[in-house]
Amino acid sequence: MIRFFLSGDHPQSRVLTALLLVILVTLALAPFLFPGTRSLETAARICIFIVLVASYDLLLGYAGIVSFAHTMFFGMGAYGVAIATQRMGTGYDAMIVGTVAGTALAAVFALGIALFSLRVRAIFFAMITLAIASAVGVLVSQLSGITGGEDGMNIRIPRELTPAFRPFDEPVLGLRITGRHLNYYLVFFSCLIMFLVLLRVVNSPFGRVLQAIRENAFRAEAIGYRVVYYRAMATVLSAAVAALAGAVFAIWLRYVGPATTLGVEIMLDILLIVVIGGMGTMYGAVIGTVVFVLAQNYLKDWMGGASDATSFLPLVPDLLNPDRWLMWLGILFILSVYFFPSGVVGRLRGKA
């Protein structure tokens, strides 16, 4: 059973298994363990980012393709839902139409970019995707008639998914269930399914071919695999999953804007998470996301304390300023590319 769900890709390390179990249980019971809006917000964000990062890992870790356009696809899913609910009115049909349309658009776009630029070298592809993604970002913020411009758009979702909806009169396990919690479980289960599907994909023959191409594209071509075809498929697949994650994100947040879905910062976050978690492992996305979000929340506090404690020294307090946490993460990132190219997960597996 477990073998079936994990597609035969076991964590292969006791510590990793324990960590993953803790994360799974915590996320599954988040509304009961941490009542309060803020922590639920964090839990939902972790769920969505796990899928987003895992879909990027399919591209970077398994196929060895560096793309900077991943947030563009994420944004397409999110804007798909936003635009559909605005045009068609509030309802599940609008949500589904928006999700499907956004995902389809992302897939077509990804296919176009892939066919146009995958024949060139990795570096070309990285630069081209960066340029296209930034152009789309600019376009989205300027076409305010359709996308709401810099202000973004608020999304109206059915009442059953909002805090105003209360299905039970009595508290369940000490928690008064609202539509917000139902919405959270929608996020949780759709993300869980998407993650397991991605795990299935990378452990299928298709995923093995991708790894072969990553290791030696020339040899893979010589064996008879059509490298461009496989790379294009990987691009399309990862774009589609990213768009689905974006749609879920939009439904959860009830808002889309350029900064929350399309920004370069989010792209950098994804890149950092994949590398620190471990490229080409899928589980790296889970560990990396949790480490990253916790670091984002707690490293800042810790650095604030350290900054105050060293305030008598020159320059050191500035380096430890909570706003500079990204710098330390950047250094960690560089070090992990050099010394732990397989990330946290690879490290844990190596010790097992």
Partner 1 sequence: MTLSTEHAPEHAPKMARLSLSERLQPWLPVLLVPALVLAGYLMISSPSSWLTLTVSGLAMGMMIFVIASGMTLVFGLMDVINFGHGAFVSFGAFVGVSVLLALSGMTGAPSLMLNLLAVGAAMLAAMAVTGVLGLGFERIIVRPVYGSHLKQILVTMGGLIVAEQLIHVIWGGEEIFIGRPEMLKGSVTVFGATLEKYRLVAVGLGLVLFVIMRAVLRNTKLGLIVRAGVENPEMVQAMGYHIRRVFVLVFVAGSALAGLGGVMWALYQEMITAHMGMEIMILVFIVVIIGGLGSVEGCFIGALLVGLMQNYTAFLEPKLALISNIALMVAILMWRPQGMMPVIKAK
- Closest C-alpha to 249, from 137, 134, 99, 108: 99
Residues 6+ apart with CB under 8 A from 78: 102, 246, 247, 249, 250, 256, 260, 261
Q: Shortest CA distance to 337 belongs to which of 271, 261, 238, 266?
A: 271
Report whether 169 contacts 25 (CB < 8 A). no
3, 4, 36, 121: which one binds partner 1 (CB under 8 A) = 121
Q: Which of 28, 126, 192, 228 binds partner 1 (CB under 8 A)?
A: 126
Measured CA to CA in angstroms, residue 230 lies from 115, 211, 220 at distances of 11, 10, 11
| Of the candidate residues 127, 177, 228, 295, the single one contacting partner 1 (CB under 8 A) | 127
Dist. CA 135–CA 76, nearest whole Å: 14
277 lies in the site for partner 1, by CB under 8 A: no
HSE-CB for 207 with a 13 A CA cutoff:
20
Tell whether residue 142 is a contact of partner 1 (CB under 8 A).
yes
| Whole-angstrom distance, CA of residue 26 vs CA of residue 117 | 42
Residue type, 341: P
Contact between 311 and partner 1 (CB under 8 A)?
A: no
Among 33, 120, 175, 222, binds partner 1 (CB under 8 A): 120
Residues 315-334 binding partner 1 (CB under 8 A) are 315, 318-319, 321, 323-324, 326-327, 329-331, 333-334
| 66 forms part of the interface with partner 1 (CB under 8 A) | yes
Query: Alpha-carbon distance 246 to 248, whole Å?
Result: 5
**Residue entry with tokens 């959860």:** 252
Contact between 47 and partner 1 (CB under 8 A)? no
Q: Does 313 bind partner 1 (CB under 8 A)?
A: no
**Sole binder of partner 1 in the list 5, 32, 124, 298 (CB under 8 A):** 124
Task: Tell which positions 149-178 bind partner 1, by CB under 8 A.
Answer: none
Region binding partner 1 by CB under 8 A among candidate stretches 18-26, 45-53, 132-140, 156-164:
132-140
CB of 246 closer than 8 Å to CB of 265: no
| Stretch touching partner 1 by CB under 8 A, among 87-95, 122-130, 162-170, 199-207 | 122-130
Single residue of 24, 264, 309, 313 touching partner 1 by CB under 8 A: 264
Residues at the site binding partner 1, with contacts judged by CB under 8 A? 60, 64, 66, 116-117, 119-124, 126-128, 130-132, 134-135, 138-139, 142-143, 264, 268, 271, 275, 315, 318-319, 321, 323-324, 326-327, 329-331, 333-334, 337-338, 341
